[in-house]
Amino acid sequence: MIKRFKNVSYKSSIVTVLLFTITTPFILTNYIEVSAIQRETTTIESGGKYTESQHNFIIDAPVKSYDDIGKLEQVSNFKFKIPDFILEGNKVSGFQLRKLSEKCSAVEIFFENLNGSFSFQIFQGDPFESLKNVENDKTKAFENVKVHGEKEPLKIGGITGLNVTLSTTFPDRKIGNGTFIESQKITKYFIWQNEDLWYSIEYKSESKSSDSNSMSVNLSQSDILQIAQSIKYPEDLRNVKYSIVKDSYTESPVMNIYDKEDLEKAKNILEFNPKFPVEIDKELTMTSSIVRISDDYNKENNKNKFEINSFYNNKSGSIVFTQGKGLKDYKSIEKNDYLNEDEYGSLLIKPEKLVLNGIQIFKYASTGIVPEVSCLWKENDIYYSLTFYVNIEKSDEILRKFIDTKPL
């Protein structure tokens, strides 16, 4: 299932994202590649109908999430088919483009209902190894996870393919303040080939532990057959519209930023030109960037404001850079000379005041699961926040580099 931020506090949202990167040895550096805007054409050796060149990404994240099938077609380097049939009670909830290697990618489409969700996938290359690689990639933030795969021939109706079973075992583990006992997730897929590409339907998924068992997906062979027989190129669809309607006032992030077109769209939503330093130096590069609803909003006309959050690696830690037309924490400090660290106002923080390049900075440390230092400032009616997690060394030096960066 695609995970989204809900419209909760800025700090709790960000800490949730960072838990999987700063409490384990698997930092985002291990699997994020930031590329130059221009890339050379790459020859693809595996099957499928391919475009002449790969898409030019500003942030070439290994997993890119979209809510527009047209955009997904545009950025993928091969043409694919998708179902023209959706099971009753289900709806399309999102799309992902996943890089499996420099030459192969996978497209994932997610369907959800009241009981859970399942995925439809299109692969280049070996489908069995691709599915195992996807599962390993999804669980790499956890230590000592074991993924075991089995495959066997399976024919459904007139379609000959493979039945693939992936068993993922999670050991006892602690995440933040929570403790989880050993559990196992068992997922079954039907895979078949069509015009040199491999297609996959997740038809059964269950989780087991000593405390409970649950099943989130359980499709019949009749369901699988109807989906498999219906696949067409997007332009040939007659029965299904792959449009996702998002409530921009309740769902966040509003969008992810990967290329120039995304950046232009983000500027229109934000209604200002943000700073967008993809690379501060060789040791500090942007790994992802999203537009989300700001906690600061206009109460008079009930109009939401939007902000942009950009994420960076910082050796053994992470940095989050936030920009928006409003910032509650800054306004609270400016008005009261202190900050309420919790919703009850029982923990007050008096920030240190710095001046860099003639700009007043509010700097303070927060208590929490990991070491955290925040710096807040304002330039030309735009508010900025730079928060360091775990590695808080050289924060003033790095802060100066962000202040020196000019808006787009």
How far is 125 from 101, CA to CA, in rounded Å? Answer: 10
The model scores a pTM over 0.85:
no
Cis amide bond preceding 127, omega within 30: no
Candidates 404, 308, 329; CA nearest to 374 is 329
For residue 241, what are the contacts with CB-CB under 8 A and spacing of at least 6? none
Question: Is residue 385 within 8 Å of residue 333, measured between CB atoms?
Answer: no
**pLDDT attached to residue 300:** 54
CB count in 10 Å sphere of residue 389? 24
AA identity, residue 111 = F
Question: Is residue 4 within 8 Å of residue 84, measured between CB atoms?
Answer: no
CA-CA-CA-CA torsion sign (231, 236, 237, 238): negative
**pLDDT attached to residue 48:** 47
Question: Is residue 5 within 8 Å of residue 13, measured between CB atoms?
Answer: yes
Q: What fold characterizes domain 68-236?
A: Phosphorylase Kinase; domain 1 (3.30.200)
CA distances (Å), origin 206, targets 118, 245, 288, 317: 12, 29, 31, 34
Host H or E run for residue 169:
strand 159-170
Q: What fold characterizes domain 253-404?
A: Protein Transport Mog1p; Chain A (3.40.1000)
AA identity, residue 21 = T
CB count in 10 Å sphere of residue 369? 15
Q: Nearest 5°: CA angle at 164, between 158 and 167? A: 155
Our CA dihedral for 159, 120, 202, 198, rounded to 10 degrees, sits at 50
Pairing of strands 49-50, 78-79: antiparallel
Print pLDDT tens along the chain (408 aa): 333 333 344 454 455 444 433 333 333 333 333 333 333 332 223 344 544 456 789 999 999 999 899 999 999 888 999 999 999 989 999 999 998 888 788 999 999 888 788 999 999 888 899 999 888 888 877 778 899 999 999 999 999 999 999 999 988 776 666 677 888 899 999 999 999 899 999 999 998 888 888 888 899 999 999 999 999 999 999 999 898 876 655 555 789 999 999 999 999 999 999 999 999 888 889 999 999 988 766 555 567 789 999 999 877 789 999 999 988 788 878 777 777 665 545 567 888 899 998 999 999 988 777 788 999 999 999 999 999 998 878 888 999 999 999 999
Candidates 172, 164, 166, 170; CA nearest to 184 is 170
How far is 374 from 195, CA to CA, in rounded Å? Answer: 53
Spell out the domain ranges in the chain: 68-236, 253-404
User: DSSP string of 254-321?
Assistant: SEE--SHHHHHHHHHHHTS-----SEEETTEEEEEEEEEE-S--BTTTTB--EEEEEEEEETTEEEEE
